[in-house]
């Protein structure tokens, strides 16, 4: 209860402070009241969804996600506005002190706020505020197909120009628009890749979230099949289960769902893909993540049935596994496919110019292709979304990677 009181108090203080910019910039009282009503509505909805409306315990459902998203948008507007107001208030305070000390007046009086500065503050604050709302309305379904060509000297000739489609982080429990997901599934199939690889987090919390989408994702096709691994959200670790048996049953249900959809789920296992007399080793590990995430991945077990000299593609959900374990392993993993970061669903990307997201402060390898010690990783930005129910600048991704053998056309 105390944390709610503190949170409400801080939110109201911030709202009152940022209201001063609106009062300075606008002469119409209805604008002030509209801002206060919006702020209280956002706060009230957030409190309701995470207390009285919280019938699902720790499960982050769609109503909670939207309540969180609107709160983030409102707080962003207020924080940016407050930065301008606070800077001006420091200037106003010093001006009043100088006037009181060296001027003829004996009274301490703050100069009036400057209207143009309040308008600038509101204008700048409106940009991320609008972007966050746009991300919730359209950005989360702004699917992009990103294509890469990767060359290898030791790629078996039969796999020259072999095409891989990677998807990751479906998070089906967040979906709220079937037509958009139908479009995205069609877009995946249009790539006509040789194989489809899914790198974890099919659900947010429970297997049941995938049931309404099972028929749709069952239509994904590739001539060499569909393969998958588990991500940290697939284990049901973020739900308060009544018994360990219910949690285990949920995981088995998700595994069965993947099988019914035509995915070959690799649980610290490997498979060989064949092209004539050539073969390629596909390795899949369970989730292994740094910083408190589940470490069920067993790389040694996963490669126990393949040869050290095989050309290897590793599926590992969390890119910290590649950084901490894979690239230093005695085996050479030519290409690793990961996801997990979502690119934080927020950032700025201008191909060839800028690629930035706050998630870079947590993950060194957070989006796109990286190379270390002659080994590649692709960190997929994710198909779905979680927490904040939108995307700004970091769009949902379908990756197509073409393998090429150096020296061949």
Question: For 111-162, how does the pLDDT look when each residue is reduced to its tens digit (9 = 90+)?
Answer: 667 778 888 888 999 999 999 999 999 999 999 999 999 999 999 999 999 9
Are 382 and 346 in contact by the 8 Å Cβ rule? The answer is no
Listed as own residue / partner, the contacts of 38-41 with beta carbons closer than 8 Å and 24 or more positions apart are 38/74, 39/11, 39/15, 39/74
Q: Which pLDDT score is estimated for 55?
A: 61
Q: Which pLDDT score is estimated for 236?
A: 93
User: Can you tell me the distance from the alpha carbon of 200 to that of 315, in angstroms, rounded to the nearest whole number?
Assistant: 9
Domains and CATH numbers, the chain: 2-137 (no CATH), 143-405 (3.60.21.10)
Among 220, 180, 178, 181, which Cα is nearest to 198's? 220
Q: Which pLDDT score is estimated for 108?
A: 58
Q: Which pLDDT score is estimated for 120?
A: 87
Q: Which pLDDT score is estimated for 23?
A: 84
This prediction's pTM? 0.91
Q: What angle do CA 211, 170, 348 make, to 5 degrees?
A: 155
User: Can you tell me the distance from the alpha carbon of 94 to that of 244, in angstroms, rounded to the nearest whole number?
Assistant: 62
Among 123, 131, 127, which Cα is nearest to 26's? 123
Are 315 and 199 in contact by the 8 Å Cβ rule? The answer is yes
Are 167 and 398 in contact by the 8 Å Cβ rule? The answer is yes
User: Can you tell me the distance from the alpha carbon of 154 to that of 313, in angstroms, rounded to the nearest whole number?
Assistant: 13
Tell me the per-residue pLDDT of 186-199, one tens digit each, with 9 for 90 and over. Answer: 999 999 999 999 99
Among 316, 380, 311, which Cα is nearest to 152's? 311
Among 150, 148, 151, 140, which Cα is nearest to 174's? 140
Q: Which pLDDT score is estimated for 215?
A: 97
Q: Which pLDDT score is estimated for 3?
A: 85
Q: Which pLDDT score is estimated for 122?
A: 87
User: Can you tell me the distance from the alpha carbon of 230 to that of 44, in angstroms, rounded to the nearest whole number?
Assistant: 36
Q: Which pLDDT score is estimated for 291?
A: 86
Are 317 and 201 in contact by the 8 Å Cβ rule? The answer is yes
Q: Residues in the chain with pLDDT < 70?
A: 54-59, 96, 99-112
Q: Which pLDDT score is estimated for 105?
A: 60
Q: Which residues partner with 313 through β-bridges?
A: 282, 335
Quick one: DSSP state of residue 104?
S
Dihedral angle at the C-alpha atoms of 275, 279, 280, 284, nearest 10 degrees? 100
3 state SS of 401: strand
């Amino acid at each position: 209860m105390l944390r709610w009181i503190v949170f409400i108090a801080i939110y109201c203080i911030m709202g009152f402070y940022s209201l001063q910019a609106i009062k300075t910039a606008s002469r119409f009282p209805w604008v002030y009241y509209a801002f206060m009503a919006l702020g209280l509505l956002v706060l009230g909805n957030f409190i309701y969804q995470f207390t009285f409306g919280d019938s699902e315990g720790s499960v982050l459902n769609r109503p909670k996600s939207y309540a969180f998203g609107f709160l983030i948008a409102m707080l962003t507007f207020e924080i940016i506005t407050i930065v301008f107001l606070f800077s001006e208030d420091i200037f106003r305070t010093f001006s009043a002190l100088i006037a009181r000390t060296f001027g003829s007046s004996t009274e301490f009086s703050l100069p009036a706020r400057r209207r143009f500065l309040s308008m600038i503050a509101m204008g700048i604050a409106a940009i991320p505020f609008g972007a966050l709302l746009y991300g919730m309305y359209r950005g989360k379904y702004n699917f992009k197909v990103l294509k890469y060509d990767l060359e290898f000297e030791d790629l078996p000739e039969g796999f020259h120009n072999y095409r891989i489609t990677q998807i990751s982080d479906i998070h089906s429990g967040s979906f709220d628009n079937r037509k958009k997901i139908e479009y995205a599934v069609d877009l995946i199939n249009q790539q006509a890749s040789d194989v489809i690889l899914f790198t974890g987090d099919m659900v947010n919390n429970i297997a049941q979230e995938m049931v309404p989408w099972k028929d749709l994702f069952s239509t994904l096709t590739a001539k060499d099949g569909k393969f998958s691994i588990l991500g940290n959200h697939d284990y049901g670790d973020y739900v308060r289960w009544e018994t360990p048996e219910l949690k285990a049953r949920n995981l088995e249900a998700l595994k069965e769902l993947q099988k019914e959809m035509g995915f070959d789920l690799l649980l610290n296992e490997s498979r060989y893909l064949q092209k004539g007399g050539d073969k390629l080793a596909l390795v899949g590990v369970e989730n292994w993540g740094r910083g408190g995430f589940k470490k069920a991945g067993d790389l040694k077990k996963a490669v126990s049935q393949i040869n050290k000299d095989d050309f290897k593609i590793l599926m590992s959900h969390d890119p910290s596994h590649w950084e901490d374990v894979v690239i230093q392993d005695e085996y050479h993993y030519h290409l690793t496919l990961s996801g997990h970061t979502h690119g934080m669903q927020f950032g700025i990307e201008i191909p060839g110019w800028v690629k930035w997201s706050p998630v870079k402060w947590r993950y060194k390898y957070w989006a796109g292709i990286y190379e270390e010690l002659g080994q590649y990783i692709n960190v997929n930005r994710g198909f779905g979304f979680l927490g904040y129910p939108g995307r700004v600048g970091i769009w949902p991704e379908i990756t197509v990677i073409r393998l090429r053998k150096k020296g061949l056309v």
